[in-house]
Amino acid sequence: MKSRRTEQPAENTESPSDWVKTPVANLVRYKSSGIYFARLRIRGKLFRHSLKTDVISVAKLRPGDFIKDRREEMGDDSAVHSGRMTVGDAISIFRQRLDGQQDIKEGAKVYRRKFIDALLKSWPDLEKKPVGKVSKEECLDWARKLAAKYSASVYNKTVGTLRMILDVAIEKGARARNPAKAITKRRIQLRELHLPEAEQFNLLVESISDAGAWCSRDCADLVRFLAYGGFRKAEAANMRWNDCDFNHGRIRVRVTKNGSPRSVPMTQPRIARSEDCQNMLMPATWMLAPKGNRPALVFL
């Protein structure tokens, strides 16, 4: 019956003599059944979990997930368990988790960190405030002031960040409900785009080319390349000459915002000619690439 015990605090009715230590950390064997258990003590609380095997070579491979889950569930933040958790403590945990996430891009992490900073700037005394004392009324009052100063997009992202931070406190047991859920988000109205006519665009490019700087012509070529292909700056910075397929009239975009490569047709005559495309691609890869990460040979 003991072998069917799962992830729960160990009972005190068992005698220490019922268990046999092993050379492997956090691994013990139940004497009467021979079944191995993962054993872990966190802040005085003892947990055991049946590994459902009596073979030590198999058992020592299994405790990893159980130990990781229990440590994450219990946490190691003494402030949380002493009832003194502040919003700053929750932000620290949120930042740590954000840094460790592998399923989102670094740019998205940087974007989220900016909204943490915006939150603390717009609510200066929030960081030191106990999470249990953040009220619904305070959240609504902060949101009202925030909405008066920032765009709907910034407002919504900052409110969302506050909600996620307070969700950490709920997960840790520092409070029961999230008061930021009472804040309603604003509707984002898309701006109507007013694109220049062809003549206006050509005049713009000519004015850049004739500006008189050493790189004026390169800058003009860069503007043409981005406009003709509809490329983002980061996309253009990561392009290489072998991404240009003149036989099929397409440009391969390998590095994209959503991580899925795409092909762009060479619909504009200027970008479809090899020499012109080369002149436009060179400044894109050199001028937009981060310093220290510029390719030595672009057209390979």
Burial of 113 (0-12, 13-18, 19+ CB in 10 A): middle
Output the 3-class SS for 124-189.
CCCCCCEHHHCCHHHHHHHHHHHHHHCCHHHHHHHHHHHHHHHHHHHHCCCCCCCHHHHCCCCCCC
The answer to whether residues 183 and 157 touch, using CB atoms and an 8 Å cutoff, is: no
The answer to whether residues 85 and 174 touch, using CB atoms and an 8 Å cutoff, is: yes
**Beta-carbon neighbour count of residue 199 at 10 Å?**
8
Give residue limits of the domains in the chain.
Answer: 2-76, 87-182, 198-288
* Cut 0.85: pTM above it: no
pLDDT tens-place values along the chain, 300 residues long: 444 444 444 544 456 678 998 888 888 999 889 999 988 877 667 888 899 999 988 888 888 778 777 766 655 454 555 558 899 999 999 998 998 888 887 888 888 999 999 999 999 999 999 998 999 999 999 999 999 999 999 999 999 999 999 999 988 888 889 999 999 999 988 878 888 898 998 899 899 989 998 888 888 888 888 888 888 888 888 888 788 887 888 888 988 887 789 998 877 665 655 566 666 666 555 555 554 444 333 333
- Beta strands 27-30 and 36-42 are antiparallel
How many alpha carbons lie under 13 Å from residue 202 in its C-beta half-sphere? 4
In sign, the C-alpha dihedral spanning 268, 271, 275, 276 is positive
Q: What is the pLDDT of residues 239-269, one digit of tens each?
A: 887 888 878 888 889 888 877 899 988 776 6
CATH classification of 87-182 is 3.30.70, yes or no?
Answer: no
